[in-house]
Every structure is written in structure tokens, then in C-alpha cells.
Amino acid sequence: MVRKVSVGLLGLGTVGSGVVQIIDQHQDKLMHQVGCEVKVRKILVNDLEKKRDVYLNGTRLTKDVDEVLNDPDIDVIIEVMGGVEKTRDYILRALRNKKHVVTANKDLMALYGSELLQTAVENQCDLFYEASVAGGIPILRSLVEGLASDRITKMMGIVNGTTNYILTKMSQEGREYEEVLKEAQELGYAESDPTSDVEGLDAARKIAILGTLGFSMNIDLDDVEVSGISRVTKEDLEYGDQLGYTMKLIGLASRAGDKVEICVQPTLVPHSHPLASVHNEFNAVYVYGEAVGETMFYGPGAGKLPTATAVVSDLVEVVKNMRLGVNGNSAVMPQFDKKLKSAEEVNAKYFLRIHAKDQSGTFAALTSLFSDQNVSLEKILQLPVKDSKLAEIIMITHKATKKDFENILMQLKDLDVVEDVKSSYRVEGDGIQ
């Protein structure tokens, strides 16, 4: 019977400090849950002299990773240091040393998850990564365990707090993108280099992980079609609002038959949709199952204690498995071969905003182009462009194939009556009827 579990922690930044804090302050809860003491034995850090704002309770700090990975008394490695290549090497070494691993590293799992999980199985070790997606929201365990008997057909979610904060402020306060981005950086919601967040890369890594688990197939990061919010304007949001929609950066994974679509893009959702009410830095994932119907998981997507809570919850699961002697049996390898939908097989509604000449024949030319591509229009809004002879035309199509809509975008640029294609976005659901 396991009497004590020793943890090696890689990293003592924001999340690492939260992990130490929770393990120390919730020791009675952990003892009740797992029936034994859980202790952080050693922590890998870059600077031994740095002042810490967390009580270490006698835990040894080290700059030598071998002291952690090769310590025979350490049972579980928790990785919260970030990075990819070096971290991958550390985790592989830990697993081959028969140490269980908990990680919060979405970049690592999106790129090397299959390899790491296979190594864990081969060494009869657990590898858990709940905190890698949506921080404190238990979405991965819900997919793997709570919805294990169902067949997931679609997942769409707000999985990046930075972009949701920016879009919320732009929508509610009528502000420009650059202004709100600067504010987000000053408040610490956005990095000094925000590219990963605002261009959708962070969300893409998370939706790749969700797609792999939800559809039981190996979804790679390169399979995700990605576009970010840096070109979204307050005018786009205002016109979307007039038509009954709210803009969100949505990670989408959908399945029809044996084929899937995986993408991240600014998307208009109806004001009535639950995701439209997810504001600021909060995250939410909407899941459709054939049996359960529609469910939504909502909460803080980042932060010291929410993310650390997910990490320590994984640790509890590891310790429970240790006491039962079933480590290494949790990972379920993908069941299906990956088949991605082609552009002809992806169907969606689209928002389109153009500047066109305000003259007779303009609408005839536009409707003829749409008709030639078998795309019909659901809503049209036309307004004059101030101090010009142009009209602002906003359209929302009925469902069309991605291929047909892309053809329309290409041909619009060559149409004489069109001055400029200002923007286009995917639309999910119905706005104002």
C-alpha cells in the first residue's frame, strides 16, 4: 500500500507556485481523497536565489534536472515550465524512469502528444494533461470519462482568454482592436508579443487536443485551419450586432460520418447562443453528443489557481491509480483513421462586407455572381459610405460550401462594381429573424 507520494516539479512560475500552494494548503483534502501524504520533494528552477512568494515547506530547489528525473524516491513529475523540445526530452526521460507525469503544456501535447502517450503506455505510467486546455475547466476528463459512452459530433469553444477579452471590449465599448490590445497587454491579459493568441495559434493547439480526444483520431496541429482576430474591426462587430450576432474567436471541431473539420477563426454566433454570453477572459466549450445533446463547460481559462487546480486534480488521479495498481491503463489510443473534410464538404453560413459602387446594376451583378456559385442570401443590409459614392453592403448567406464561397471572394475582387472586400467571417446559427 502506498504510504507517501513524492512529487518532482519542473518550473516554479505562476502555475508552479499555485501547485505548491494547493498541495500545501489542501493537504487534509488530499489525504482524504487518496489516503496518503502528498509532498513536493524537489523543484527545478532557473534561479536558486530568486525571492519566492510561496511557502516551500522544506522542499529542495535545484537547477539540475537530473536531480529531479533520476531521484528514485520521486513518484510523479509535474511539468509547468513550458517550452517544447527540451520539455519533451525531460518528459520522455521521466516516463522511461517509470515516473508518472502531469503536464499543463498545450504546445507540447499538440505537437508530441501521441508519442508521449505511447511512451507512457509502454512504461506503464500515467500521463495526464487536463490543464493544457481551458485552464480550470475539466473539459478533457469530461470528454474521456463523463461522455465516454456518447458519440461526439461537434465541439466549438472559446479557448483563448486574451482574444475573448479583446473582442468583448471591442463589442461592448465600440473600441478599436489596437487600443484594446494595448490595454490587455498593460493588464497582463496579453503578452508583449501577442501573436500566438491574436492569430489563433494558441486556440489551434487546444482544439487539436480536443479533436484528438473527442473524435478518437490523431489530429495534428497542421490539420487546423487558423485565422486570428487582428483584422477584425469595430464596424464588423457593429454590423454583426445589427443582424443579431456576436463575434467570438471560435475553435471548431465537427464530424459528419467518418470525416472531420478542424478550424479556428473569428465567428459570428447568435446573441441567444450560450457562447455569446462568455465575456472577457473566461473560456467555454460547447459539446454536441448524439445521446446527451448539447452541453457547455464554462469557467476561467487561465490563471494561477484555476490552472493549478486542474494540475493537482490530475495528480490526485495518478495517486488513486497508484493505490489501485492500475497506472498506465488510462490512455486510450485513437480508434479511427484521420479523414479531413475537403472544401467541397465543409458547409457553413458566411458574413460578407463589401464596398460597392452606389449605382444601378450593382445588385444585379452581385446576385448574378452568387447565383452562378449556387449560393443564396439570407440577409442583406445596405448603408451609404460617408463622403463617397460607395455603398456599404453587408450580406449573410444561407449555408454554402466553403469552396463555393471562396470562389465568390476571388471573383468579387475582379467585379467592376466592387471597390473593396472589407471582411468575411463564418456564421454559426441564426441571428435576428
φ, ψ of residue 252 to 5 degrees: the values are: -125, 130
Residues 318 and 379 in one domain: no
Q: Which residues make Cβ contacts (< 8 Å) with residue 27, sequence separation at least 6?
A: 37, 38
φ, ψ of residue 189 to 5 degrees: the values are: -80, -25
> Which residue has 450586432 as its cell numbers?
241
The answer to whether 306 touches 135, Cβ cutoff 8 Å, is yes
Residues 148 and 288 in one domain: yes
CATH of the domain at 360: 3.30.70.260
Q: Is 338 a catalytic residue?
A: no
pLDDT in tens, 407-432: 999 999 889 999 999 999 999 988 66
CATH of the domain at 113: 3.40.50.720
CATH of the domain at 262: 3.30.360.10
Residue 315, domain member (yes or no): yes
Residues 152 and 87 in one domain: no
Residue 381, domain member (yes or no): yes
Neighbours of 149 (CB within 10 A): 9
pLDDT in tens, 268-319: 999 999 999 999 989 999 999 999 999 999 988 878 888 999 999 999 999 9
Domain range holding 47? 4-134+304-324
Count of domains in the chain?
Answer: 3
Length of the chain counted residue by residue: 433
Give the mean pLDDT of 353-367: 91
Residue among 169, 206, 304, 349 flagged as catalytic:
206
Strand pairing class (37-44; 377-384): unpaired
Residues 9 and 129 in one domain: yes
Give the bridge partners for 283, in sequence order.
299
Task: Please give the Cα distance from 122 to 96 (Å, whole number).
Answer: 9
Residues 103 and 152 in one domain: no
Task: Please give the Cα distance from 402 to 114 (Å, whole number).
Answer: 30
Share of the chain above pLDDT 90, in %: 79
Instruction: Quote the pTM value.
Output: 0.91
pLDDT in tens, 194-207: 999 999 999 999 99
Task: Please give the Cα distance from 287 to 193 (Å, whole number).
Answer: 31
Residue 336, domain member (yes or no): no
